[in-house]
């Protein structure tokens, strides 16, 4: 655990990110107890190929980067009293997105990689078509 903390501290100092890391089981507990929302920030083709966490909402980083209409609509509905938890393929995009929303005044956490969720045995949904 100390190694992970050191890596996160280095990552934060190098890139200026201000998110916290969270383990998949802890993320699952927070979401099922209603204190957090879980977001998959990968792109549609990644979800179609690999599935997603069963309780995750699709919120692609490309939409967040573009700050397009779907981003603005989602932003308007995000509650400030819940933690926003993000994941992607490796954790890098999730960290960038978590930092973005932290700067907007939200409490955020980076769950890291979707493969960590799968390896933990948490529920996964297959995705046939996401636009």
Instruction: State the CATH number of the domain containing residue 121.
Output: 3.40.250.10
> pLDDT tens digits, residue range 55-85?
999 999 999 999 999 999 999 999 999 999 9
SS3 39: strand
| Domain membership flag for residue 110 | yes
pTM as predicted: 0.85
> pLDDT tens digits, residue range 23-50?
999 999 999 999 999 999 999 999 999 9
User: How many structural domains are present in the chain?
Assistant: 1
In this prediction, residue 9 carries a pLDDT of 47
| Domain membership flag for residue 82 | yes
| Domain membership flag for residue 42 | yes
| Domain membership flag for residue 59 | yes
| Domain membership flag for residue 86 | yes
In this prediction, residue 17 carries a pLDDT of 54
* Cα distances (Å, whole numbers) of residue 56 to 12, 37, 38, 123: 25, 7, 5, 10
**b/e sequence 35-64, b meaning 16+ C-beta within 10 Å:** ebbbbbbbbeebbeebbbbeebebbbbebb
In contact, 4 and 22? CB cutoff 8 Å:
no
| Domain membership flag for residue 71 | yes
| Domain membership flag for residue 118 | yes
| Domain membership flag for residue 33 | yes
Domain that holds residue 44: 18-125
């Amino acid at each position: 655990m100390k190694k992970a903390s050191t890596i996160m501290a280095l990552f934060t100092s190098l890139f200026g990110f201000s998110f916290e890391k969270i383990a998949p089981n802890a993320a699952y507990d927070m979401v099922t107890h209603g204190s957090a929302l879980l977001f998959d920030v990968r792109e549609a083709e990644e979800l179609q190929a690999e599935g997603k966490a069963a309780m995750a909402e699709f919120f692609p980083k490309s939409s967040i980067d573009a700050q397009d209409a779907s981003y603005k609509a989602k932003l308007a509905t995000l509650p400030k009293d819940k933690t926003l938890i993000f994941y992607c393929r490796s954790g890098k995009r999730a960290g960038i997105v978590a930092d973005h929303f932290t700067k907007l005044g939200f409490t955020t956490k980076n769950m890291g990689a979707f493969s960590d969720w799968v390896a933990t045995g948490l529920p996964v949904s297959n995705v046939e078509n996401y636009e």
